[in-house]
Amino acid sequence: MAERSPTQGAGVTAAELDRYRPYLVRYARLQLRDQSSAEDVVQETLLVAIENGDRFSGQSSVRTWLTGILKHKIIDVFRRGARELPLAAAGRGEDATEEQGLEALFHADGRWRAMPGDWGDPDRAFENQEFWRVFEACTQAMSVKSARAFVMREVMGLTTDEICKELDISATNCWVLLHRARVSLRACLETKWFSKAR
């Protein structure tokens, strides 16, 4: 009789695991900002899942289980990268550019220089494939540091404390990065989508 693989034993086949690949790659690409790195880390994730399929208890969904493995893989990549180039030293130039971009939005007294645009019913954009291409481009346009903090918060669901620990920054610095990321994404979406859609 053919030996059952661990994944079959747990009721999750390798073919079923592979169905989650597009979702996992999208998740990893947001963090790593590179298609081939994302595919590599997803491949490692699926291999771990296949090897440890017998540990999958079924208490969570397969996707939640895979996402948990992927999070650890992504954090491993960050830690390796941080040893080579600490985050504080990464992207100093684009950091200053992003800060200048933020300052340029406001008068010296803190009022908006230009009234933020009216996006109408923005939820309609969800139905437009082209919007998602613009959205992805805008997430890639953030500085490395801001994007990393933003995706850890919004995609990986880490708390501010966890982000501070992973990136070795203070809470105040973390809030600054998250604010910059949101302002940058808002400005990009307004320029590249909503001002054109009106």
Instruction: Write out the residues near another protein by the rule CB under 8 A.
Output: 22-23, 26-27, 30, 105-106, 109-112, 115-119, 122-123, 125-129, 132, 135-136, 139, 153-155, 160, 174-175, 178-179, 182-183, 185-186, 189-190
Q: Of 47 and 105, which CB lies nearer to another protein in the complex structure?
A: 105
Q: Which is nearer to another protein, 78 or 175 (CB)?
A: 175
CB of 129 to another protein, least distance (A): 7
**Residue 10 or 164 having the CB closest to another protein:** 164
Instruction: Provide the residue type at 123 as one letter.
Output: D
Nearest to 173 by CA among 95, 84, 104: 95
> Closer to another protein at the Cβ: 27 or 56?
27
Handedness of CA 19, 25, 26, 27 (dihedral sign): positive
Neighbours of 13 (CB within 10 A): 14
Whether the Cβ atoms of residue 32 and residue 77 lie closer than 8 Å to each other? yes
- Smallest distance, Å, CB 173 to another protein? 12
With beta carbons less than 8 A apart as the criterion, state whether 171 and 160 touch.
yes
